Structure 1
Amino acid sequence: MTTTTLKPAGKYEGKHVVITGGSSGFGLATARLLVDEGARVLLTGRNQATLDAAREQLGTNAVAVRSDASSLTDIDALTDRVRTEFGTVDALFANAGVNGFAPFEETTEELFDDILRINAKGPYFTVQKLAPLLAEGSGVVLTTSVANVLGLPALSAYAASKAALRSMTRSLARELLPRKVRVNAVSPGPIDSGILEKSMPREAAEQTKAQMAADNPMLRMGSPDEIAKAVAFLAFEATFTTGTELAVDGGGSQL
């Protein structure tokens, strides 16, 4: 007699999740956590090769869609795709964003506009367009940053964009209450996501990471997986929480 061992249902079995900026970093780590627990995830990004790699890594429960989070035309097309793939959505992680390092005196109008368009305008209209598809009891999570409460050098435009998102978290939470949709934010601190290695020489990146770890109350950097756990908590478990911001920063903005 042959015995068949059934795989236990995952924690998020049957859930539909949309993650913008999901092909790398926080977004990919969150997609991996949710897919591993049974969710179907639609993730977006602007680089097709990176999207394809993420899709291959995540398997058949992931759908990868090329979409520019700052383009309303792309957001409209994304909404149509989500409607076709899922019908309704149980969680939305509006995570797509960019960094923008520049001293205040050297910040150009073009850089300022790019950062605000991608980091603030994009998430705002992503939530607006997808709101009709959000199921009752669903959760929206926005990605802010400890930069919105700390006066960090060379990040004035970036910090302003994340402060705008913090304000939107409260406003959208209030406006979506009648639909029984919660809106919260995750606020990452120093996370070893690989982004420093992409923006500076390896030796400089290692020195920067060592300094960030030394300056942190927990004397280390965080990992993308720690952000993913916080996002999943806000999206699904924090059922009596809306309008709040959860700092995942080793205490850097609090202690």
Structure 2
Amino acid sequence: MVGDVTVAVVSGAPDPLAAAVERATDSRVTAGTDARVADADLVVADGRAAVVDLVRANSDALVLPVDAGPGVRSVPRDAVGRAVAAVVAGESETVERPVLSVRVGDRDPVPAVFDVTLVTSEPARISEYAVRSGDRRVDGFRADGVVVATPAGSHGYAAAAGGPVVTPERGVVSVTPIAPFVTDAEGWILSDESLTLSVERDEGDVSLLVDGRDEGPVPTDGATHVSRDGGIEVTVVEESAAFW
């Protein structure tokens, strides 16, 4: 408890962060890889993996991301104490980053805060993919894979594949072929309301990765449905990274 604010730290190595928060606020915090966040008002999430864990736990706490990239306006580790003190003092603002729901066939949906990727499991194997937005077929292409990035994830793997950075305010995602067979392959900015990815032909197994985590194979002609499903609230302070 920090004043009237309950703080939790979620981290693979939480002690340094917890100590920094305690020094800055003169209070103890809940910390650990499975820190109790259900009743926390503020969760300090150490790294991208911790942010993903919070989204998958369906936490509705306010999040202060640490070293998780500019897409979620994270703060550097050496600024955590000052950042938490600013939040407690009311010197912060809250922004929302969209979360996607990803579903293959009759499997349970998986949330994605950064990106969704279909990729051939073996190197140098090219498959044929198709992209639909709502009821409209956008295109088909041969490539090593395809990545859908939220605004939070558009700075990462999608950017490395040649995709654009996507503004958070527009309700869109970027869709980018990975190592396409032709040199003039396009990418797209599409609505995040209803998107479908499919494998129309494969030369090897295709895997679904959600926020970098393997969610199993994607069958040929099977549809991967992607749609907006809520968001995660992130607190922004003076030390937070700029989005652009």
TM-score (norm 1): 0.28
Higher relative contact order (CA 8 A, sep 6+): 2
Which is higher, the Rg of structure 1 or of structure 2?
Answer: 2
Q: By percentage of residues, which structure has more strand?
A: 2
TM-score (norm 2): 0.29
